Structure 1
């Protein structure tokens, strides 16, 4: 029997939660937003501080990928990768040493001769009627002569003798760093690829490996093809310079033209202008012949040499090449212009193989 007068049993109740700060309050949003912005600014500054090191790393990897097809060529002949890498490096270093010993002094002497003779060329230009009209309006000749003949020109450009020494030392040190890193990347490229592909999920790893190998092969073929195109440009310029009477500057001109040929789009205009200006020191007729020759050679290179060499490496429209070279040059200078074309080709490959494939499957 239940006693109705007995008090009801005590049932504990949950205490009301203490008031907390709303997660989406303006304070929280502002605080964490400002904190994220500060962290982003700090990381950006740190990244910019090591930008020179990153450029050396990218150049080293770029050269290693460019030499990798040659290494794989020897591997297909039965050599181990270590011996193949050693053989390729011996050949590359031998060619560089031969260039430094045999060609570099001649190029340096010819560049010095161009610098010495430049004031005299300005005097010769003053006798031209059209140049006299331009000089009367803008005082071009006097400004150019003062700029070249000024005694502190080298000091303003390089910071004096100490600045020249430091720049030479820095260039040598950077070259050694690039060579050492290139050797490391070239020897350990398979393990680097394996480590990079391992970051992808196991189900997509074969597809990622396939695309990555395609990009690496196309980049390597592009690097090798670019050097072949530059070699053709340099040799043709060397022969033409001896024919038209520019033999005193033939090696320097061929070296500069070959070097600028590595830079898409922009290099052709700079090389053509330099060749025409040097030919103008001989006579206006030679300058006109040089201009016609260079325009004709660019057509041969663009429609015959370049397509035949690059047809198996990069599949990229000409307009994309121009835009990529301009964007890469504005971001990273000459190095950016060199890397722009293979990077654009890689992005187009990913677009065709991944994005368009998914779109077509829907």
Structure 2
């Protein structure tokens, strides 16, 4: 190998990279506009990939349960209809859930919000009396006495916001209509692309592998595909686990609050189910909102609700969640907290959701690297006070196993 030629290629690549970077920084506004334009083009396909990833989890489950996991044992007719039928059933289930929310839960929530307005109106005089009993501060008393709840004013405020605020954000009705049409068109393209990915996922998988092995060295390609596989398994396990946990926790609150005759059982159950999708902190956000809603009706029941929340959280976290999800994400609690904190600071709620599987993948890969480095240094086990090394016989066995594994490379 001509080492001078290799060095020249590296230097040339470094020079080209530096020039591109300098031009990009010099014309940063143009580069940013170009990136925004490109993102607008590829966004429907990125959204379609995200939809396909989410739908693939229940679709794969239904396909394996209805038609079996082993495709080779299926007949040709079953293999032909298995994927489309599973996709249709999955989409039907999603639409069924949406319809259920629209026609069953929405009327009940409307009634709950109607009662909530009456509760707020009745709670304000009670709060004013409590404040008068505990303080004589004129500033606080003046502020409290100004509090009032007028449903007509609230409705008028909503109308003014929709008429003025929305009008300022979208200058004309035509632009609003165009935005809606554009949104539907984007979603239609994304959904169609997602369906194509799901129906042809094996074929696409093979094509992507061919491209990767055609342009990337075999060792690097295998390592990259292993990382992708680990990432997919981690994200799908986390997505499934969070959704199952949210449904179970919300259902437990609805049932238990109904049995205890607490107000707003359905509304609080739904709030806790949605907030539980946010790891660690989500359930406590639902608890605060639930406590506030119940407190305006009955302060004693609000305290009982807090106790109920703590009990159900312990049952869910220590008994139900480990059996439903297990250690599929494989991330210690301290790193889960770190991932949620960093993700929340960088990307808000979305960051909280996606940073746990991302950190889990990084943690798993780094752990494997650490174990490999320990083996290279012939270290078998490390404890708080001792370091145990491999014997010469164990080292020879590992070397022979490595040679057999890579004999055909």
- Global fold match (TM > 0.5): yes
Of the three residues 138, 149, 152, the one matched with 2:157 is: 152
Q: Equivalents in 2 of 1:318, 1:159: separation in Å?
A: 47
Q: Equivalents in 2 of 1:171, 1:300: separation in Å?
A: 46
Of the three residues 338, 345, 350, the one matched with 2:353 is: 338
Contact 1:230 1:259 in 2 (8 A): yes
Q: Equivalents in 1 of 2:365, 2:252: separation in Å?
A: 37
Match of 1:15 in 2: none
Q: Equivalents in 2 of 1:176, 1:125: separation in Å?
A: 51
Of the three residues 242, 248, 256, the one matched with 1:226 is: 242
Match of 2:61 in 1: 70
Structure number with larger C-alpha Rg: 1
Match of 1:187 in 2: 199
Match of 2:102 in 1: 100
Q: Equivalents in 1 of 2:276, 2:183: separation in Å?
A: 23
Q: Equivalents in 2 of 1:333, 1:228: separation in Å?
A: 22
Contact 1:329 1:337 in 2 (8 A): yes
Aligned residue for 1:262, secondary structure, equals coil
For the pair 1:236 / 2:252, whether they are aligned, the reply is yes
Match of 2:367 in 1: 352
- 1:73 and 1:117, CA in 2 relative to 1: closer, same or farther beyond 3 A? same
- 1:324 and 1:62, CA in 2 relative to 1: closer, same or farther beyond 3 A? farther
Match of 1:205 in 2: 221
Contact 1:276 1:290 in 2 (8 A): yes
Ranges in structure 1 where 5+ consecutive residues have no aligned partner: 1-29
For the pair 1:36 / 2:38, whether they are aligned, the reply is no
Contact 1:66 1:222 in 2 (8 A): no
Match of 2:51 in 1: 60
Deviation at 1:348, TM superposition (A): 1.9
Q: Equivalents in 1 of 2:20, 2:327: separation in Å?
A: 50
Q: Equivalents in 1 of 2:19, 2:107: separation in Å?
A: 62
- 1:36 and 1:161, CA in 2 relative to 1: closer, same or farther beyond 3 A? closer
1:11-41 CA distance string (max 9 Å, x none): xxxxxxxxxxxxxxxxxxx987652313555
Between the two proteins, the alignment pairs up a number of residues equal to 334
Ranges in structure 2 where 5+ consecutive residues have no aligned partner: 1-17, 377-409
- 1:279 and 1:32, CA in 2 relative to 1: closer, same or farther beyond 3 A? closer
- 1:323 and 1:183, CA in 2 relative to 1: closer, same or farther beyond 3 A? farther
Match of 1:274 in 2: 289
Question: What is the root-mean-square deviation in Å for CA atoms of aligned residues?
Answer: 4.2
Q: Equivalents in 2 of 1:228, 1:145: separation in Å?
A: 41
Moved more, 74-83 or 289-298: 74-83
Deviation at 1:345, TM superposition (A): 1.8
- 1:310 and 1:101, CA in 2 relative to 1: closer, same or farther beyond 3 A? same
- 1:85 and 1:234, CA in 2 relative to 1: closer, same or farther beyond 3 A? same
TM-score by length of 2: 0.66
Higher relative contact order, chain-length normalized (CA < 8 Å, sep 6+): 1
Match of 1:285 in 2: 300
Q: Equivalents in 2 of 1:233, 1:61: separation in Å?
A: 26
